[in-house]
Amino acid sequence: MFIEQAFRGKHDFWLYLVGSLIVALAAVIGQIPLTVAIILENGWEASTMSQSQMMQSLDPNLLIFLLLLSFAVGFIGLKIALKYLHHINFMTITTIRKKVDWGRVLLGFGLIAVFSSVSILIDYQSNPENYGWNFKPIPFLILCLIAIVMVPIQTSIEEYLFRGYLMQGFGVLAKNKWFPLMMTSIIFGLLHIANPEVDKLGYLILFFYIGTGLFLGIITLMDEGMELALGFHAGNNLVGIILVTANWTAFQSESLLKDVAEPTIGFDVFLPLLIVYPIFFIIMAKTYKWKNWKEKLFGKVEAPAEIIN
C-alpha cells in the first residue's frame, strides 16, 4: 500500500526532518533571483519597502515566474533527499502503480478546473461590479506560457512533500494512517499563514486550507497514489492564476479578470469543504471503485512481508 512503500528505503523519521530542511533550504536558494530582481529594480530603497511594495514594483509576469522558480529549485532539494537520504525514487512517493496513471491526473485536474471556471463565470455574470476586465493580449499570452509550465511544478512539489514524502514519513513514525493524514493536512494549512489572504480575511481562512489538505490526503490514501491530488492541485491553481486574481492574493498576475470587491469570509469560503469536495469524493470513489475506507484511512502501517523477508 501507499504509505508502506516508505519501507523500501531508509525510513528513520529523523531522515524526513533532515530531508524537509533540505527542501526548505533549496526553496530559499530559489528565492535569490527574486531578491536580486527587487534590489535591481528599487536599489537600496528596497530595504525600507514593505513586502507588498517590493512585489508590486516588478512586472507581474516576471514576478510570477520568479515566485514559482523557488518551487522548481525545491524539487531539486527533494530529489537530493530521496536519493541520498532514503535511497528511493520519486515513484516510491507517487503511487503504488508501476507508472503514473495520467488518466487519474486528468480527472483530478478536470473536476476542479471545470468547477472553478464555471463558478467564476457565474459570479462574473451575476456580480459584474465585483470584477475588472484586465485582458492584455501579449502579457496574457506570456502569463499563460509561464503558468502552464511553472504552476504544475509549484503544485507538484507541494503534493510530493505533503501527500507523498511526509505522509509516508509520519505513517512510518506513527504506525497508522490517520496520524499522517491529520498532521500533513494541518501543517499544509498552517504554512499558508503568511499568505496575504490570511492577513486580509483573518485566520478563519486557515480552515479552508487545512480542509483542502485533508481532502487531498484522503483521496491520496483511498486511491493509493497521488495522481488525483497532483491533477486537482494543478487545476485549482492554474485556473485561478489565469482567470482571476486580486491585489490581496498570493499570486497577482495578468489574469483575464481582477477581483475588485472587498473580500469577506462567508459561506462561499466553506462551500467547497461542505458540498463540493464531498461531491468530488463520490465521483472519484465511483470511478475507481474505492473500498475499505476504514482500513485505508485508519488502518495500521506495517512493513510488507516481502520487505521484511
Q: Is residue 309 situated within a structural domain? A: no
Q: Is residue 88 part of a domain?
A: yes
Give the CA distances from residue 270 to residues 48, 206, 222, 266, in Å, rounded to whole numbers and listed in that order: 38, 11, 23, 7
Q: What is the pLDDT of residue 246?
A: 83
| Nearest partner of 211 among 161, 276, 165, judged by Cα | 276
**Alpha-carbon distance 233 to 99, whole Å?**
20
How high is the pLDDT of residue 51? 66
Residue 249: predicted pLDDT: 78
Position 137 scores a pLDDT of 94
Please give the helix or strand (H or E) that residue 68 lies within, else none: helix 60-80
269 lies in some domain: yes
How confident is the prediction along the chain (309 residues), in pLDDT tens digits per residue?
899 999 999 999 999 999 999 999 999 999 999 988 988 888 777 667 666 677 777 888 999 999 999 999 999 999 999 999 999 999 999 999 999 999 999 999 999 999 999 999 999 999 999 999 999 999 999 999 999 999 999 999 999 999 999 999 999 999 999 999 999 999 999 998 888 788 788 888 899 999 999 999 999 999 999 999 999 999 999 999 999 988 777 777 899 999 988 877 777 778 889 999 999 999 999 999 999 999 999 999 998 876 654
List Cβ neighbours of 91 (8 Å cut-off, separation of 6 or more). 99, 100
Q: Are the CB atoms for 220 and 163 separated by under 8 Å? A: yes
Taking a C-beta distance cutoff of 8 angstroms, is the pair 218, 296 a contact?
no
Q: Domain for residue 122, yes or no?
A: yes
For residue 117, give its domain range.
3-301
Distance CA(211)–CA(200), nearest Å, equals: 19
> What pLDDT does 183 receive?
97
Give a yes or no: residue 69 inside a domain: yes
CA distances from 89 to 10, 81, 85, 247 (A): 12, 10, 11, 39
> Quick check: is 308 in a domain?
no
pLDDT at position 309: 46
In-domain check, residue 249: yes
CA distances from 303 to 13, 42, 163, 181 (A): 15, 55, 19, 18
Split into its structural domains, the chain has a count of 1
Asked if residue 142 lies in contact with residue 59, where contact means CB atoms within 8 angstroms, the answer is no
> Distance between the two ends of the chain, CA-based, in angstroms?
17
108 found inside a domain: yes
